[in-house]
Amino acid sequence: MLDDRKLAVLRAIVTDYVQSHEPVGSRAIVERHNLDVSSATVRNDMAALEEEGYITHPHTSAGRIPTDKGYRLFVDRLAAMKPLTNAEKKAITHFLSGAADIDDIVTRTVRLLAQVTQQVAIMQYPTMGAAVVRRVDLISLHDSRGLLIVVNSLGKVAQRSIDFGSMDEESLTQLRDRLNDALAGLGPSRAAQVLADFSSTVSPEVRPIIHGIVAGVLDILATDQPTRIVVAGINHVSQFSDEFETSIRPVLDTLEEQMVLLKLLGEASAEVTVRIGQENEHANLSTASVVASGYGVDDAWAGLGIVGPTRMDYPSTMASVRAVARYVSRILAEG
Amino acid sequence: MLDDRKLAVLRAIVTDYVQSHEPVGSRAIVERHNLDVSSATVRNDMAALEEEGYITHPHTSAGRIPTDKGYRLFVDRLAAMKPLTNAEKKAITHFLSGAADIDDIVTRTVRLLAQVTQQVAIMQYPTMGAAVVRRVDLISLHDSRGLLIVVNSLGKVAQRSIDFGSMDEESLTQLRDRLNDALAGLGPSRAAQVLADFSSTVSPEVRPIIHGIVAGVLDILATDQPTRIVVAGINHVSQFSDEFETSIRPVLDTLEEQMVLLKLLGEASAEVTVRIGQENEHANLSTASVVASGYGVDDAWAGLGIVGPTRMDYPSTMASVRAVARYVSRILAEG
DNA sequence: ACTGGCACTCCCGTAGGGTGAGTGCTAGGA
DNA sequence: TCCTAGCACTCACCCTACGGGAGTGCCAGT
């Protein structure tokens, strides 16, 4: 059905359209790609490709543009990831190397991703669910207010504001040490079990306070805590089109919805995945593609990726996403 | 020069234009506002207002629109802040009440601000410069890597990744206690002084490691550390216009520039300040107004605000910004 | 000092015609 | 059987023209 030449024609249409943003005609194809056939032959192939649903044309006398199905075929069978240049690799490592803490790593990475792909980048914080508790700390601030801090083995720091009531500094220190002894090295589910019995081991008068603290720790450990998402390169939404209402507006609306973004990155696997146009369930993203990848180390896994118009340079974008995901994973593993 | 009626005409032009987004003519004014004069009289007043530079008209036969100068006069002399409804107040307190930590407070506040003003909201993290050190912690993670954590009296937690070299757990604990004894309760400048002498009091073999830790603490304490800025409600840029290139694009570009945003909020005072159009030095924001306010407690002060089109409802927006700034300040003071 | 009247300006929506890129189809050739 | 050359046809796009209408500026009158 689809012989090699038809595939070559589809490839030509996709690459040319991505570059020019204009419907591409049969003559342009034979001129720019050396197919050694006439434009009439290409027209016949185009008719076949359109019959199969890989391309379409906006009106009778216009050139062809790829459909979602056409992009999908292109990504799956016709495109090889374009390897990064040395300069690009260098830029990535340089940009990420000076990061101080996890916040910094995430911020830098998402900006870098926006920069190299020239698209809107989104990135999920590594979930702390799978890691083990490394340290619990209690710090009184003023009056009866204070802070509960939990650090996990990935270096992620979580905090909750806590009312310490009438507890004095000394018993606070004591409590802290006991919590550390009890929890250090435990995963979240095991820690939750231990905590369940914890408040019964303390004297009754401080029990309500302990209860608050335990609740705080449990809250932090809960794996389904809303993972934070960061976005960068919003200005690159201009890639989508020059018309705001029909094209850009819905994308911006979607980018404000944390839950939707989480879903987009949700099933991030180790490999780069591409969701094209209508393949995104979300209606606002029907003209958008999402290129995503998982990143992280053994038990701290999360997603990052970009959102761009279906009409994008998939080979380069996929390569960039993959490269950034790998580099940031390496940095997480090292530091 | 500007009698009461002319001011009333200006007020009418501003309010009508903000509402309708269309140039407003002399007849519309006498119809919608009961000025008890004819349209011809209003036309004369308009001519005078235009002479003074408060209004202009896009072409000969169009109605009038306010200039930056006109908005400025309106904000300074003609507009009273529109008090919030009870429902709005309730929504604000409800939205902010459940915040767990400082990250959460900032995230919620900036989203709330975007929500109530229907504009793009920006907010600066409270600077930790002015507060005093409350706790220093050292946590080893794996291999020789570890984490340095500094908590200040406002509950703000800062962290740095540190190489602990060959130090064992015990001497780490010892070092931590010594650091806490030395630094607790000190402001950043005093702490820096103490730290300067600190590394000379330890044994030579661990000195390079201590040096790294001290550098980390100093780094955290440095007041000029890049304060983080968060943005919300980007989708509301649609308020600016329906044309992307000339109007929305430059604003989006600007919102990506952390440094520019910092400047916008930089000189935030306790009162609500408005910068209109060209009053913003940044060229990209020449069609934008910034409504900002400081927030915080005694020595932890930062800015928040919104960015919107010059053509905005100043009374309501200013009231909302003020209200949100006050509520979040109160929450910071309490917890 | 205000008002009614009137000529004038210029945006905007609509209609009509020419242009050109691109297609679909058909008949002929390898 | 596959490819090619040629040709009629279709539309989007651009330019122009033109009437309608909103709004102004000005002047004479009260």
**Residue A226 DSSP SS3:** coil
Place of tokens 């690459």: A15
Res. A284: pLDDT tops 80: yes
pLDDT in the model for residue B162: 82
DSSP B143: T
pLDDT, tens digit, for every residue of A182-217?
888 777 777 777 777 777 777 777 777 778 887 887
Q: Which residues pair with B273 in a beta bridge?
A: B292
Residue that wins the pLDDT comparison between B32 and A145: B32
- Give chain A residues 47-86 with Cβ within 7 A of strand C: 47, 50, 57, 60-64
The alpha helices in chain B, defined as continuous H runs, are 4-20, 26-32, 39-52, 68-73, 86-97, 102-117, 169-183, 188-198, 207-221, 249-255, 258-266, 314-334
Burial (CB count <10 Å: 0-12, 13-18, 19+), residue A201: exposed
Distance, CA of B246 to C1' of C14, in Å:
27
Maximal C-alpha separation, chain A = 91
Listed ranges A114-123, A152-161, B186-195; the one with the highest mean pLDDT: A114-123
Burial (CB count <10 Å: 0-12, 13-18, 19+), residue A330: middle
Using alpha carbons only, how large is chain B's radius of gyration in Å? 26
Share of chain A above pLDDT 90, in %: 52
Tell me which residue of A273, A284, A285 sits closest to A310, measured CA to CA: A285
Share of chain B above pLDDT 70, in %: 95
Res. B67: pLDDT tops 60: yes
**Residue A36 DSSP SS3:** coil
What is the C-alpha separation between A126 and A331, in angstroms, rounded? 13
Least confident of A92-101, A228-237, B152-161, B229-238: B152-161
C-alpha angle with apex A140: A138 to A142, nearest 5 degrees?
165
Closest partner residue to B141 among A134, A159, A235, by Cβ? A134
The helix (H) or strand (E) run that includes residue A304 is strand A300-309
Task: Give the bases of strand D that a protein CB approaches within 7 Å.
Answer: 3-6, 9-12, 21-27
Band (A225; pLDDT cuts 50, 70, 90) = low
Least confident of B46-55, B125-134, B318-327: B125-134
Band (B182; pLDDT cuts 50, 70, 90) = confident
Band (A126; pLDDT cuts 50, 70, 90) = confident
Nearest nucleotide by C1' position to the B62 CA atom: D23
Distances (CA, A) of A47 to A14, A41, A52, A64, A249: 16, 10, 9, 10, 34
Band (A224; pLDDT cuts 50, 70, 90) = very low
Band (B174; pLDDT cuts 50, 70, 90) = confident
pLDDT in the model for residue B225: 53
pLDDT in the model for residue A190: 76
- List Cβ neighbours of B286 (8 Å cut-off, separation of 6 or more): B277, B278, B280
Domain A86-127+227-334, CATH: 3.30.450.40
Place of tokens 């879903």: A263
The CATH 3.30.390.60 portion of chain B extends over 129-222
**Residue B280 DSSP SS3:** coil
C-alpha angle with apex A60: A59 to A64, nearest 5 degrees?
70
Tell me which residue of A75, A88, A72, A64 sits closest to A9, measured CA to CA: A64
Question: Is B50 near strand D, with its CB below 7 A from some atom of it?
Answer: yes
pLDDT, tens digit, for every residue of B128-153?
555 678 888 888 877 777 888 888 77
Both tokens of B12, joined, read 């009418």
Q: Tell me the pTM.
A: 0.81
| Protein residue nearest nucleotide C8, by CA to C1' | B61
Band (A306; pLDDT cuts 50, 70, 90) = very high
- List Cβ neighbours of A51 (8 Å cut-off, separation of 6 or more): none
Band (A324; pLDDT cuts 50, 70, 90) = very high
pLDDT in the model for residue A335: 64
What is the C-alpha separation between A241 and A250, in angstroms, rounded? 12
Least confident of A311-320, B205-214, B268-277, B300-309: B205-214
Domain A4-78, CATH: 1.10.10.10
Least confident of A125-129, A291-295, A321-325: A125-129
The CATH 1.10.10.10 portion of chain A extends over 4-78
Nearest nucleotide by C1' position to the A27 CA atom: C22
The average pLDDT across A70-95 equals 93
CA distance B57 to chain A (A): 26
- Which fold is adopted by the domain B129-222? Enolase-like; domain 1 (3.30.390)
Is there a contact between B126 and B102 (Cβ–Cβ < 8 Å)? yes
Which residues of B fall below an 8 Å CB-CB distance to A? 100-103, 107, 134-135, 137, 139, 141-142, 145, 147, 149, 151, 153-155, 157-161, 219, 228, 232-235, 237-238, 242-245, 248-249, 252-253, 255-256, 334-335
pLDDT in the model for residue B224: 44
The CATH 3.30.450.40 portion of chain A extends over 86-127+227-334
pLDDT in the model for residue A108: 94
| Protein residue nearest nucleotide C4, by CA to C1' | B40
Res. B51: pLDDT tops 90: yes
